[in-house]
Each structure stands twice: as C-alpha cells, then as structure tokens.
Structure 1
Amino acid sequence: MKSRNAEFTRLRGLDLRIVRLGLRMPMQLLWRVTGPVSHDLLAVMHRNLLAGPLNRQVRFARVPLARPVWSPSTQAKPVRVSPVALRATEILNWADDVAAVDLDVVGGRGWELAAAAVDDGTSIVSLVCSHALTDGQGLLAALLLAARNEYPVALGAVGQPTITADVMDAVHGGIRDHGRLIILWAKAFRAAHRKRGNALASMGTDDRSESGPVRSTVAVQVDTNAIDRIAAMHGGTATSLMLAITANVARCVRGEVGAGDALSVAVPVSLRTPDDQALSNVMAIATVVFEVQDARYTDLVEVRQRSKLAYARVSARDTGLAHSDAGYSTVGVLPAEVREVFGPALGVIGRATSDSGLRPGHVFAFTGWGDGTTSLWFQATGIHLDRSIITDEFDAWGLAVIRWW
C-alpha cells in the first residue's frame, strides 16, 4: 500500500528554477478560428482545464532546502474576452499583450484563456500557461484530456508531506538542487551587471531611461508537403530545414557573425517515453553548432549530422538557453481534437517566451504541424525582425507563405 507522501510530486529541474528564481516563462497557444468563437465552447474548455491536471499550485515545504510539491488548485483566472474586434494586423500584438498576464503558480492561477473577434470575420483564442507547470508536450496532453473531458492522470495529494518526508527530500535531492540554483542565480546576477554596465557605457551622456526588452514577432503558415519536398531536395528533413532557416534568420537580424564565432541553436529535446503523460518539464536542451561561413546555411546533410551529434550529447542537466544565439522548438503534430476544440481552425500556433538571460539578438522559432500546414512563429529579443526578413529567407528556399498571422 502506498503511503500518503508517495502521492506528492516534487518540483525539480526547470519547475524548481522558475519558481525559486521568480522567472517569467509563459507558453502560449493561439487558435485562429473561422467565424465567431463560441462562448459556450470557451466555457466548457475553461471548466475542463479547471478540473484537469494542469490546474495545480505550489506548496512550499516546511523544512529548509526540501523541494516544494505540487498540489491541486480549485481556482483559476476567468476567461478574458476582448470587448472590441481586432484588426487582422493586430493579432500578434494582441498575443503579446495577453501573454504578459501575471501568472501565479504558487496561488494556483498558472494559466489563462483569452479570446477576441477579428475584423475579417474570424476569431482568435489564446491559452497562456506557465512553463513551471509543464513543457510543450505536457501542455498538449492536458489540452487533449480537456478536449475529451477525460482525466486519467492523478491530480496528486491535497495538503503537505510530513516533516519526515521533507527532511528525507532535503537530504536526498533538495540540497543538491538548491545548490545548483544558487550557482545559476550567481551567474545570472553577474551577467545582469555586465549587461547593465555595457548599456550605460554605450549610452554615454544620453539620459534616456531604461525600457523593457524589445521583442518583435512574425508568424506564418506554409504547406507541409512543400517543406518535406524542399528538405528532401537538399538532403535533409523538415527539422533540419527549420534549423537552417532559424540560423539564417538569426544571422540576418544580427548582421554578420563575428570572425571565428560559431552560431549556436538551442533545441529542446523531449525525454518522455511515448506513454508518459506527466505534466512536469521532461526535457533537456541540445545545442546545434553552425560553423562560421559567409553564405547562408543550405547544406542540410551537414545540419542533420550536427543535429545528431548534439542530440547524442544531450544531458538531462542541460536546461539553459542563455548560452545560445538562437533556438528552435516544435510541439510536433497537433491532434485534430486540440486543433478544432474551439471550432474549425485556420491554424494553431504556439511559442514560449522568456527574458531571462537571453542575449540581445536572440531569435527563437517555433513550429507545429496540423491539417496539411505548418505554422512557424519567429521572435527576436532586443532587435528588429519583420516580414521582409522571413520572406527573403523563404524565397531563397522556394517556400511560399500560405497565410500571415
């Protein structure tokens, strides 16, 4: 018979880092729906998410250095519906605005559902979720359960572990994990001071006040068959093509890479087994290194080789993005039940955002497949990124844009 404490899930890895260091790392899914979105469907999905495994909160341990535990939450942020219709050109700005919501995983409000009508007769729906709760695969699993009104994953225990259990956790993992956090915090603190010093030096006598991080986003839909065909023509796969595109966009927005400097692309790698539906962050970061060259990266055979080498070296301890120049992530194929949960969808697209330690000029690309199309969401931190850059890169591959978000 299992003890009561066996029901608790401890925070570890990225979960623990986000909560203990106070990081802001939301994930976001956008649905572009044909016609007006049904308020009834929004209410049903909100109710199912509220009752499902995604709706949980942090309970801190009573013993120093013991790791916190997850516990079910009975509350959530209400659905936020825009009172006015958006212009189609404002969708990504609206997405940025709703992604800036103050999520509180400690208080049990770690996600939010929002929707707005668009002036072209379509609608847009957003789900924002703290990365502390889960990773992209876990989020999709939770959404699929909610869409099916099924909850086979246990929500965990209510209350707190015993003092004895907390002491045991502190000794057998908590001290180690919190020690790593102290090292990470110290590195981030030193990096922030260097960045601030460099910024002040570059400002000279300019007395402009500091502003928040600059992020620009571009999102598109393309034909999946076209991606596969073009990738095969260059000896690669859809993933290697997306990696090359990400690296090329990063080079373009940042200008020429310095002499002797390689360009690194961070790629989240799922460590889940096929039947693993746990909501924790079960992933690591592989780093694909592109050698310096004057021209664009087009040799997908080499990209595949470098990717395989990076995947083979990945460790469960590799969870940082700050060292990379760019990032590429995919949630894979979106199940039809998730795509159509708010009605017939023109497209579904997702991303994660973080301002924690990313270099100015960092470019992240996110992809998702479904219904014959691939959605790509590019975002750049601290530097300009616009449609012309994406258009030029796609044109160079012979890849046509079906729809701009």
Structure 2
Amino acid sequence: MSTVLDLLDQTMYDIGRATGSETLLQGVWEYDRPIDIDGVRQFHEHLERGRLSRCIARSPLPFGRSRWVAPENLPELEIVESARPREEFDDWLDEQVNTPLDCERGPGWHLAVLPFTDGGAGVSLVVSHCLTDGVGLWEALANAACGRDDPISWPAAASRGRFRALREDAGQAVSDIPAIGRAVVAAIRMGQHGSNGAEAVRPPTPETATPPPETDETHLLPTATIFVDADKWDARASALGGTRNTLLVGLAARLAQRAGRVAGDGSVVVTLPVNERTADDTRANAIGGVRATVDPASATTDLSEIRAAVKQALIRHSEEPDPQKVLNALVPLMSDRVLNAARSAMRGNPFNLVGASNVGEIDAAAGRPDGTDASSFAMRLHHTGVSTATLHRYGGVQTMLSGTMDGRIFVSLSSYLPGHENSNDELRLQLSSALDDF
C-alpha cells in the first residue's frame, strides 16, 4: 500500500505550513452523569492504534510528495483535576483548540476530559484536518469505541534512508508529470475565463468600523452549536420542497444574507464538500467540492430552487473534473513563499464564500467515548492562525458543519464578520434567529 499523500492532502498540508494557518476538527461529548475514566482510557488507547495515529514526513526533494509515517510522539490523555461549572464548557472547548499539535512528529490530536461541578463531564478531541475529514473522524471514533484498530502499520519516519527516499520521490515526481501537465492547462484556462464565474463577495463593513492594522495577530473565531430533532428538521425540509441537506444549505444562505455576504444580484455562493470515501480508503481528506449559487430570498418559504441548484452542481461534479482539484498537482512544485502569495491572490478564496458541510448519519458508537452513550455529541470546525487583517481583507468567514446521530441533528457554525460583534453568545443568537426564520 502506498504511503504517498494524496494531492488534496498534500495541498492542505503545504498551504497550512506556508501560511501558518490550520483547520481543526473537534469532537465534543457531554455527559449528564459521572464519566467512566477507565472506559475513556481504553478509547484513547484504541485511538492511538487507529487511523488518526500517523504523521506526515516531508520529502528530501524540494518538489517531492510527502509520505505517511508513524508518529514519533504519542498523545497523552488529559484529565482535568479541578471540576468546572457546566456553563464554562464552551470556554474550555475553546481552550482545547489552542492545544499544540504537530502533524510531522506527533501528536496530531488531543483527547481531554473535564468534570463538571454538577457531577457530569465533558470530553473534547481536537485533530488536525490534515489527518482526517469529518466522515473520517466519526468513523475513527466509532472504531475506537468498538475496539477496532487500524490494520495498517505505518513505517517510521527515517526508515527509508536518504538515498532510497531521494530515488523513490524522484520516481514519484516523474509519474506525476501527466497530472502536472493537466494542471498547467487548467491554470491557463482559469486565467483566461475566471475560476468559477461567480462574483466575488465581500460583506459591507460599517463606516464606523476602523480597519485593523496589518499585523499577524490571530484569535479563535466564534463558534456556536445547536441541536434539532431530526424528524422536525426533515418535516420542515419536506414542507418547503427540500431535503435534509438542502435545508442546511438554505440555513447557510439565510445567515449569509442576514450578514450581507451576497453578490450584487443578492445570490450566495455556497461551498459543499462531497464525501468520496471508499472502503479501505487511506486518504485523510477523501472529499470533493462543489459550489452552488443560490438565492436566499425564498429559502424560508420554498427550497425547491435551492434543491435544483444543488442537484445541478452535484451533476456537474460527477461529469466534469474539478478544476481546483486538478491544480493540486502544481502545489508540490511551489515554495512556501509562492504558495503564500498564490493563496492571497486566489480568486474565490474560501473566506469569500459560505461553507455548508454535512457529514451524514453518524455511527452511534462514535458517541460512546467511555463505552456508554453520551447525552450529546457534535463536531465543530475551527480555522486557526488566520490574522485579523486577513479576515477583514476577505470579508470574514462563515462555515457550517452538521451531522445526525440518534435522531438529533447538530449544526455547528463558525463565523467572523468584520465590523461587528464577534462572540460565541452573539453567534448562537444569530443561528437561533435564522432557524426561527424557517
């Protein structure tokens, strides 16, 4: 089995390293009773032997592809000694996002337990998106809870030796030449015709807002999570002529409209990840991506147009290669400086768009970190290392992550809007109010 990173995984890793930014996934469990610490220890041990326990080794060639290797440093289970009020759980979850992770040497993930003063407990697992996507994460959690370990044993980082590594990576670069050629052609075409034809969106900033200085200061973006009964969600989606997924798109578009993240014609471009994971897939991010241009004006009363737009975007995705994905073959050839400059100048930067990701129906085992069902489970998406100046330059960010477990749907929203109050409490109010619109 090949240890070479898929080009999408390589792209995410290289761009993150070049820009100093990172995307993280966070699994969140809440218990209304004392947690079984021994059960959590077993869960942690199986995670150490699961698909998340690998790291990325850079090629000795400046243009070579990276490879999957065994981590040098294993993660330690954190059990907080001092209980905290349940009301401080959100603050603690944000603190967990700042735990240092290392995709090259390990650990690439961190599991922690917080006891509550009322006798319950909260659990957090933070992992780099370079190691897994949303579907891959909940599958890894379910496997660990069921005691299923990854059958693959990844090689040690230095096991190849320098001469062998140079020879093998040079051979890989030669085999990549056809893909590089297709990427060059795609880049030329995109330069001539535009990357997607969509109007760039930049939310208006109040005149009273003072632009931030051009500094590297970063901060954690506000995040809010809500739960909705799945039957009620599906009933409302059906009544509006939509589906479970198109109601999520409609909600994302409605939030974008309320925030002013619209084009001149009032439309919103929504980015939708598409799960492409197959059996025995070793990719960290087995996803494609589509962009649907939707009109949020009628979202709360009729989802049929949004449903049609999403369907057409998915049809195009199945029939035509994604030009953005084709360009990934060029990434290993670029220096960090070039990647950083290209990212800043890229048209259709993700901070210009609205994201709505649905990880589907989650195996109930993923909700049992101590071997028993937690009261609730959700996943959150975080963008770290993004400077305030960059957020203002691109008009902020709005990404949504959703999934279903045991008859409940969680919706997690991460958002930043320049010139506005940006806090977890305010974001929760915005999300609740947008749901009320439906």
Shorter-normalised TM range: 0.7 to 0.9
Question: TM-score, with normalisation over the residues of structure 2?
Answer: 0.76
Q: CA separation in 1, counterparts of 2:219 and 2:106?
A: 27
Choose the corresponding residue for 1:239, options 226, 235, 245: 245
Choose the corresponding residue for 2:223, options 200, 217, 221: 217
Tell me the percent identity.
23
Determine the structure 1 residue equivalent to 2:273: 268
Determine the structure 2 residue equivalent to 1:285: 289
The structure-2 alpha-carbon separation of the partners of 1:345 and 1:215, relative to structure 1 and needing over 3 Å to count, comes to: same
Partner amino acid for 1:34? Answer: D
- Higher mean alpha-carbon deviation, 153-162 vs 341-350, is at 153-162
Q: CA separation in 1, counterparts of 2:299 and 2:51?
A: 44
Q: CA separation in 2, counterparts of 1:225 and 1:77?
A: 39
Shift of 1:296: 5.3
Determine the structure 2 residue equivalent to 1:187: none
Q: Please list, as runs of the form range in 1=range in 2, the aligned pairs for 1:4-403 lying within 5 A after superposition.
A: 7-19=2-14, 21-22=16-17, 23-158=21-156, 159-160=159-160, 162-173=165-176, 176=180, 203=210, 211-213=217-219, 215-252=221-258, 254-255=259-260, 257=262, 259-273=264-278, 275-291=279-295, 293=297, 297-314=300-317, 315-316=321-322, 318=324, 322=350, 324-342=352-370, 343-355=372-384, 359-382=394-417, 383=420, 384=422, 385-397=426-438
Q: CA separation in 1, counterparts of 2:147 and 2:118?
A: 32
- Higher mean alpha-carbon deviation, 218-227 vs 41-50, is at 41-50
Q: How many residues are aligned here?
A: 371
Q: CA separation in 1, counterparts of 2:14 and 2:4?
A: 15
The structure-2 alpha-carbon separation of the partners of 1:277 and 1:263, relative to structure 1 and needing over 3 Å to count, comes to: same
- Higher mean alpha-carbon deviation, 310-319 vs 98-107, is at 310-319
SS of the equivalent of 2:222 reads strand
Partner amino acid for 1:395? Answer: D
Q: CA separation in 1, counterparts of 2:128 and 2:105?
A: 12
The structure-2 alpha-carbon separation of the partners of 1:96 and 1:317, relative to structure 1 and needing over 3 Å to count, comes to: farther
> Deviations for 1:182-228, whole angstroms, at most 9, x for unmatched residues?
x9xxxxxxxxxxx9xx99x9748x98987424622221111100011
Shift of 1:111: 0.5
The structure-2 alpha-carbon separation of the partners of 1:300 and 1:81, relative to structure 1 and needing over 3 Å to count, comes to: same
Q: Which has the higher contact order (CA 8 A, sep 6+)?
A: 2
Q: CA separation in 2, counterparts of 1:74 and 1:214?
A: 28
Q: CA separation in 2, counterparts of 1:173 and 1:381?
A: 38
Determine the structure 2 residue equivalent to 1:191: none
Equivalent pair of 2:255/2:431 in contact (CA under 8 Å): yes
> Deviations for 1:346-381, whole angstroms, at most 9, x for unmatched residues?
111012222557643422221121111111111212
Shift of 1:330: 1.8
Q: CA separation in 1, counterparts of 2:122 and 2:68?
A: 31
Determine the structure 1 residue equivalent to 2:337: none
Q: CA separation in 1, counterparts of 2:216 and 2:56?
A: 33
SS of the equivalent of 1:13 reads helix
> Deviations for 1:51-109, whole angstroms, at most 9, x for unmatched residues?
22311112222233111110122532211223333333322222122112221010121
SS of the equivalent of 1:310 reads helix
Partner amino acid for 2:301? Answer: T
Equivalent pair of 1:15/1:281 in contact (CA under 8 Å): no
Shift of 1:255: 3.7
Partner amino acid for 2:269? Answer: S
The structure-2 alpha-carbon separation of the partners of 1:176 and 1:256, relative to structure 1 and needing over 3 Å to count, comes to: closer
Q: CA separation in 1, counterparts of 2:60 and 2:214?
A: 45
Partner amino acid for 1:311? Answer: L
Q: CA separation in 2, counterparts of 1:241 and 1:230?
A: 8
Equivalent pair of 2:23/2:128 in contact (CA under 8 Å): yes
Partner amino acid for 1:77? Answer: P
The structure-2 alpha-carbon separation of the partners of 1:311 and 1:165, relative to structure 1 and needing over 3 Å to count, comes to: same
The structure-2 alpha-carbon separation of the partners of 1:120 and 1:375, relative to structure 1 and needing over 3 Å to count, comes to: farther
Partner amino acid for 2:13? Answer: I
Q: CA separation in 1, counterparts of 2:176 and 2:380?
A: 31
The structure-2 alpha-carbon separation of the partners of 1:167 and 1:387, relative to structure 1 and needing over 3 Å to count, comes to: closer
Shift of 1:15: 3.6
- Unaligned segments of structure 2, at least 5 residues: 188-201, 326-347
Partner amino acid for 2:4? Answer: T
Q: CA separation in 1, counterparts of 2:240 and 2:102?
A: 46
Partner amino acid for 1:331? Answer: V
Q: CA separation in 2, counterparts of 1:323 and 1:203?
A: 20
Shift of 1:142: 2.0
Partner amino acid for 1:347? Answer: S
Shift of 1:312: 2.1
Q: CA separation in 2, counterparts of 1:138 and 1:354?
A: 18
- Higher mean alpha-carbon deviation, 334-343 vs 149-158, is at 149-158
